[in-house]
């Protein structure tokens, strides 16, 4: 994708498509007012006839508007005047993009960036535009046979700015948006691939390929024998029933010399059958998405590398398949983690934490400035927060606040959740140092408390993304979340945000 910024009026630029907006009660946005004036009142006429509406979600594509240099004018409804915020801005850009996705338009000029949007400046408006367009244009067709659909012709996004002085901010926003969109798209691809393709070895290959030819990025992959040597009995207990070999994927991006790195840890369960505590059959296919934590940290690393951030970031992915078999771990088995703590595996379906605890212990060697693990960890999190926000846990209130803020400004939102000794008590075991499940009630919280037993001495946060990582139903597919939230966090740490 190519980007440009322009101060020229909506009607004056010869592009394939300009996007303008109208509000409720016929109030024209900046771009729409200009188009209306240039076309002798055409927009107002269409508003009167009802063919154009200010209602949010409404859209009309107008061809060959007289007095306007662009081939197409897309008019989107922006809702009540004065109410536009980053979220409704992104929705409006998505609506406009969907309306022209089937056309042959190669360039779009987004004039919605001229509207007043609460809490967003030219940087964020450019970034949100690029991310939103990319989100809508994303297709996953690599597993379909037959004639491949022609690639989308759209290859240029223009960003209208009010004054020359905004050009640098908008350009940087577009660049960052481009990097984040690439990371989101990679995370979606990895999530959408079936488990017979996206195995632990496949994830390792993708991580290696990302690093090849990039002097700042390196990838190392540990095999099961090496993990055994490190004492990762917990992680290895999850792969005990699987034929696919487990991998520990370690990526290091050095953009800032010898600074302490931020370490991102991902749950990479490439398929979660539940193991001997087998899941019910209905909807089990969606457990191919149980590696979306891994996909998001690898995707974030791709974004970081593309944006060439001046910061150190490491990624640690525990990649395993959770399968039942004669060699699988049984309920009641006791395993020893790399930390030395023993775990009674009361339910083999609570496997994510068994993988993450050893990955977190491994992360200590990097003396992280902060470590954030990302996991589709519990169905209970979906009950608590639905599919709108991920859960944010931390042993450090400042870190929790920082991640919460990153979610808000990137429009990839989470919500702070509690931890504490009362919840941790639920993990007591009569036979080992702890059990891997916390009984009824607060399932997402007790899972976080389990991980908290492996993070002593580190600034640690945990994102339970079970509700946000993918969509079900007719829209079934990975979302690429929380790549935008994590990227925002790293951009902020790199002091590159306005």
Residues that bind ligand BES (CB under 6 A): 272, 290, 347, 349-352, 376-380, 382, 437, 443, 466
CB of 142 to ligand BES, least distance (A): 24
Question: Which parts of this chain interact with Zn ion (CB under 5 A)?
Answer: 269, 272, 290, 352
Q: Is 166 among the residues that bind Mn ion (CB under 5 A)?
A: no
Q: Which is nearer to ligand BES, 178 or 349 (CB)?
A: 349
Measured from the Cβ of residue 366, the count of other Cβ atoms closer than 10 Å reads 18
CB of 287 to Zn ion, least distance (A): 7
Burial category of 298 from C-beta neighbours within 10 Å (exposed 0-12, middle 13-18, buried 19 and up): buried
Sheet holding 333-336, edge to edge: 333-336, 342-345, 434-435
CB of 201 to Zn ion, least distance (A): 19
Q: Is 272 among the residues that bind Mn ion (CB under 5 A)?
A: yes
Phi, psi of 332 (to 5 degrees): 100, -20
Q: Evaluate whether 313 touches 255 at the Cβ level (below 8 Å).
A: yes
Q: Is 373 among the residues that bind Mn ion (CB under 5 A)?
A: no
Rounded to an integer, what distance in angstroms lies between the CA atom of residue 444 and that of residue 419? 10
Q: Is 349 among the residues that bind Mn ion (CB under 5 A)?
A: yes
The answer to whether the Cα torsion of 331, 332, 336, 337 is positive or negative is positive
Q: Which is nearer to Mn ion, 138 or 470 (CB)?
A: 470
CB of 415 to ligand BES, least distance (A): 17
Across the strands, what pairs with 118?
A: 85
Q: Which is nearer to ligand BES, 350 or 357 (CB)?
A: 350
Q: Which is nearer to Zn ion, 33 or 357 (CB)?
A: 357
Q: Evaluate whether 272 touches 351 at the Cβ level (below 8 Å).
A: yes
- DSSP at 85: B
Across the strands, what pairs with 319?
A: 247, 268
Q: Which is nearer to ligand BES, 386 or 420 (CB)?
A: 386
Is 279 catalytic? The answer is yes
CB of 272 to Mn ion, least distance (A): 4
Q: Is 321 among the residues that bind Mn ion (CB under 5 A)?
A: no
- DSSP code per residue over 170-192: HHHHHHHHHHHHHHHHHHHHHHH
- Per-residue binder mask for Mn ion (CB under 5 A), 28-47, x = binder: --------------------
Among ligand BES, Zn ion, Mn ion, none, what does residue 378 contact (CB within 5–8 Å per kind)? ligand BES
User: 91, 254, 279, 336: which is the annotated catalytic residue?
Assistant: 279
Among Zn ion, ligand BES, Mn ion, none, what does residue 458 contact (CB within 5–8 Å per kind)? none
Rounded to an integer, what distance in angstroms lies between the CA atom of residue 180 and that of residue 483? 7
What is the number of the residue whose Cβ is closest to ligand BES? 379
Q: Which is nearer to Zn ion, 265 or 269 (CB)?
A: 269
User: 72, 90, 353, 453: which is the annotated catalytic residue?
Assistant: 353
Q: On the CB side of 39, how many CA atoms lie within 13 Å of its CA?
A: 25
- DSSP code per residue over 395-457: S-HHHHHHHHHHHHHHT--EEE----HHHHGGG--SSSSEES---SS-HHHHHHHHHHTT-TT
Among Mn ion, ligand BES, Zn ion, none, what does residue 133 contact (CB within 5–8 Å per kind)? none
Structure tokens at 158: 């223009």
Collect all residues with Cβ–Cβ distance below 8 Å to 60 and sequence separation of at least 6.
Answer: 46, 51, 52, 53, 74, 75, 99
CB of 98 to ligand BES, least distance (A): 27
CB of 367 to ligand BES, least distance (A): 29
Calculate ∠ Cα 36-38-43, nearest 5°. 20
Q: Which is nearer to Mn ion, 157 or 203 (CB)?
A: 203
Is 353 catalytic? The answer is yes
Among Mn ion, Zn ion, ligand BES, none, what does residue 347 contact (CB within 5–8 Å per kind)? ligand BES
Would you please indicate which residues are annotated as catalytic (active-site) residues? 279, 353
User: Which residues contact Mn ion (rule: CB under 5 A)?
Assistant: 272, 349, 351
């Amino acid at each position: 994708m190519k980007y440009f910024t322009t101060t020229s009026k909506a009607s004056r630029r010869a592009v394939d498509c300009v996007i303008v907006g109208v509000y409720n009660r016929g109030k024209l946005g900046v771009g729409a007012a200009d188009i209306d004036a240039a076309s002798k009142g055409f927009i107002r006429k269409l508003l009167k006839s009802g063919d154009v509406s200010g209602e949010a979600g409404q859209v009309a594509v107008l061809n060959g508007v007289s007095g306007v240099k662009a081939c197409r004018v897309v008019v989107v409804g922006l809702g009540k005047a004065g109410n536009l915020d980053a979220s409704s801005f992104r929705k409006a850009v998505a609506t406009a993009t969907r309306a022209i996705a089937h056309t042959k338009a190669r360039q779009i000029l987004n004039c919605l960036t001229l509207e007043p949007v609460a809490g967003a400046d030219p940087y964020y408006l450019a970034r949100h535009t690029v991310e939103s367009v990319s989100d809508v244009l994303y297709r996953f067709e690599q597993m379909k046979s037959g004639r491949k659909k022609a690639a989308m012709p759209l290859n240029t996004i223009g960003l209208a700015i009010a004054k020359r002085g905004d050009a640098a901010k908008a350009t940087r926003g577009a660049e960052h948006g481009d990097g984040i969109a690439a990371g989101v798209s990679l995370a979606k691809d990895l999530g959408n691939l079936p488990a017979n393709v996206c195995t632990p070895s496949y994830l390792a290959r993708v991580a290696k390929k990302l690093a090849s030819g990039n002097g700042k990025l390196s990838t190392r992959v540990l095999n099961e024998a090496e993990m055994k040597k490190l004492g990762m009995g917990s992680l290895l207990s999850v792969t005990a029933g699987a034929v696919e070999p487990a991998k520990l994927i370690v990526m290091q991006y050095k953009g800032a010399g010898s600074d302490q790195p931020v370490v991102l840890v991902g749950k990479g369960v490439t398929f979660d059958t539940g193991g001997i505590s087998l899941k019910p059959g209905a909807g089990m296919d969606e457990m191919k998405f149980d590696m979306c934590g891994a996909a998001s940290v690898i995707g974030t690393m791709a974004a970081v590398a593309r944006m060439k951030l001046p910061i150190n970031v490491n990624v640690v992915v525990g990649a395993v398949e959770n399968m039942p078999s004669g060699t699988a771990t049984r309920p009641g088995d006791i395993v020893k983690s790399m930390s030395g703590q023993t775990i009674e595996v009361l339910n083999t379906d609570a496997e994510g934490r068994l993988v993450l605890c050893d990955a977190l212990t491994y992360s200590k060697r990097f003396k992280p400035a902060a470590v954030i693990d990302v996991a589709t960890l519990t169905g209970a999190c979906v009950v608590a927060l639905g599919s709108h926000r991920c859960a944010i846990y931390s042993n450090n209130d400042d870190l929790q606040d920082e991640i919460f803020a990153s979610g808000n400004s990137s429009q990839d939102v989470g919500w702070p959740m509690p931890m504490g000794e009362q919840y941790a008590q639920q993990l007591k075991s009569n036979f080992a140092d702890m059990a891997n499940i916390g009984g009824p009630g607060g399932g997402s919280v007790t899972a976080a408390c389990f991980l908290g037993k492996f993070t002593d001495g580190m600034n640690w946060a945990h994102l339970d993304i079970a509700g946000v990582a993918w969509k079900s139903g007719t829209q079934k597919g990975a979302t690429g979340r929380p790549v935008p939230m994590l990227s925002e966090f790293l951009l902020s740490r790199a002091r590159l945000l306005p």
